[in-house]
A and B are shown apart, each in its own frame.
Chain A
Amino acid sequence: MKYEILIEGGFTGIPKEYKGDIHLKDKTKESLFEAFEGKQKSVNTALRDGFQYHLKLIDGEEEHEARYDEKNLPLPIRQFIATISKKNK
């Protein structure tokens, strides 16, 4: 599966970008895609210095793209970003 992650904002204002390929177990992938398709919590307009996350995942014909902020990022997607972040350290 191909991924593109852009993390912007934050107190530091320093963006982080990750692009690459990753193999995920079917169950992990399923919960990740379900999180994309789930109803997004409302944006917190009072958030200051929160991270903004822009994600794009491509798995064969399937493509998912979404934007989140610190307060409405679904847990499976947060865990996926953490995995990628650790992998790129």
Chain B
Amino acid sequence: MCNKHYCFIVPPHILEELAKRGNISCKQALNDSKRFLERRRTILNNLLVREFEDGNSERFIYDSQNKNEQRLVLVRKEGDVATQDETANKAYETSGFVRDYFKDTFGLDSIDGNGLDIISNIHYGEAYNNAFWDGDEMTYGDGDGKEFTDFASAIDVVAHELAHGVTQFLSNLEYQSQPGALNEHFSDVFGTVIKQKYLKQDISEADWLIGDSVVSEGFPGVAIRSMKAPGTANEFDTQPDHMDNYYSGSSDNQGVHINSGIPNKAFYLSCLEIGIDECALIWFDTLKALWRTANFNDMLETTIATAQRLTQEKKVSDTAVDAIAKSFSKVGLTPIIA
């Protein structure tokens, strides 16, 4: 059996099925083969990530002046006093909050762990209903004022986009199908975690919505996505909350913004059991351990293994592994627990 660049005598899906049925030697063989693959993928990830100049984790806010151009006019940089432009000030403040969260909570020095400067472009395009990360920097539109408004002012949007940068440097999950849905999932996870920290909420007060502050009155819904109830945030929201409703079409890079609803729901359920701080730590360490082509099952196995390690290290509660396993089972993903 050969699968692109690696070969097995027993196909991995058979090993996995036997392992799920309790065959210890198959589980061992599966783990060994995965370890070899992970090593290979780590090397590949490092080759695919470009060299970046070292920075000082400083913020730079550029005004695109409603053109489709980046780094057009620098309006505020680290240490500058506030400007007349409230969007620039909000982008400065929120990107700083996100940077500080990753530094203070996980010891991550900026997006790349190496002090990369944080570049934000605001007022991009005309009535532009979007925000994106492009490998180097973040870019935000003002919205059309009818359905959407100022993307740069929303803490969860800023955290979501910046987290795409973090993912690029930690696991470099490719942007299609299940790895792509996981890429979106991790951005929503840190979007919602950081939003709750920013608003000083606990999980009972939180709305678990993503993008609720960028939708305007003309938008048919309350937000872009819901971690608590995927598929209910607006009239166009087709996110599933269970593998039974997994989207297998080709749109949206094979459903990267759609199928992320499944792990999103599992994260929400896990937080209800063990709290958002323990979950954030487990998810962050999981993100560090994942690789470019990891799928939902890979992520689940890695999350469980990470939770086991953190439990042994007394960094998370004894109930973490069980809570996460149950949460993923509720969305149709059943873990193998060694």
Contacts and interface: CB of A to CB of B under 8 A. Distances in A.
A13 B252 contact: yes
- For chain B, give the interface size range: 20 to 34
Nearest to A52: B253
B111 to A, nearest CB: 12
Q: Which of A44, A50, A52 has the most CB of B within 10 A?
A: A50
Interface majority SS (helix, strand, loop, mixed), chain A: loop
Interface in B242-262: 251-253, 256-258
Nearest to A11: B131
A9 B175 CA distance: 11
Contacts of B157: 11
A49 B252 contact: no
B183 A48 contact: yes
Contacts of A11: 130-132, 151, 157, 160-161, 211, 224
B240 to A, nearest CB: 13
A12 B133 contact: no
A35 B251 CA distance: 25
A47 B133 CA distance: 6
A35 to B, nearest CB: 14
Given A51-B132, A70-B132, 18 more contacts: A8-B251, A9-B253, A9-B257, A10-B129, A10-B132, A11-B157, A11-B161, A12-B224, A13-B225, A13-B252, A44-B134, A45-B175, A46-B133, A46-B135, A46-B136, A48-B132, A48-B161, A49-B131
